[in-house]
Amino acid sequence: MNIIDHLSIGVPDLKQATSFYDGLMETLGCKRLATSDGFAAYGKDTVQFLLMLPADGQAYTPGNGTHICFAANTRDSVEAFHAFAVENGGQCEGQPGPRPEYPIPNVYTTFVRDPFGHKLEVIFNGFSS
C-alpha cells in the first residue's frame, strides 16, 4: 500500500492549468479522470493528482521547498515530460539525466517548474520502482 492517497496543488485558473497538465500527464500514460468547477483530477486507473482552486478563495502560492515527483516507466518518458513542459510554458530546473548522488542506483530524472511556479520532478528507477 502506498502511504499517499493523492496529492493536490493550487492553481489560479483551471482552464489554463488543464491545458498544460493534460499534455504533461499524457507523457506518463495518465489522463484527466474527473473535472469540476473547483478541481481537475489525474491518474491512470484512479485519481492520484489534483489541480485545485484554493478553497479559501485566496490566491494560490507554490510551496517553497516543495516538489512533486512522478514515476516514469522509461527514460523516454522522462525526456518527453521535460520536453513537453519547457515547450508549453514550464521552466527547466534540471536537465534529464542520471543522478549519481541519489541514494539509489540507475536513477534518471529531470526537474521543471510548471507555468504556476510549482516544482515537478519525474523519475525513472526511483523509490517506487
Bridge partner residues of 8 (DSSP):
50
0.85 cut: is pTM over it?
Answer: yes
How far apart are alpha carbons 50 and 34 in whole angstroms?
9
- pLDDT by residue (tens digit) across 48-92? 999 999 989 898 898 888 999 999 999 999 999 999 999 999 999
39 pLDDT more than 80: yes
Give pLDDT, residue 3: 79
Burial (Cβ within 10 Å: 0-12, 13-18, ≥19) of residue 65 = exposed
Options 3.40.1480.10, 3.30.70.270, 3.10.180.10, 3.30.450.20; CATH for 7-54+62-124 is 3.10.180.10
CB 129 within 8 A of CB 72: no
Give pLDDT, residue 1: 62
Rounded average pLDDT over 22-38: 97
Angle among Cα 44, 48, 53 to the nearest 5 degrees reads 120
Residue 106: C-alpha distances to residues 12, 67, 73, 110, 112 (Å): 37, 21, 13, 13, 20
2 pLDDT more than 80: no
How far apart are alpha carbons 17 and 52 in whole angstroms?
9
How far apart are alpha carbons 51 and 121 in whole angstroms?
16
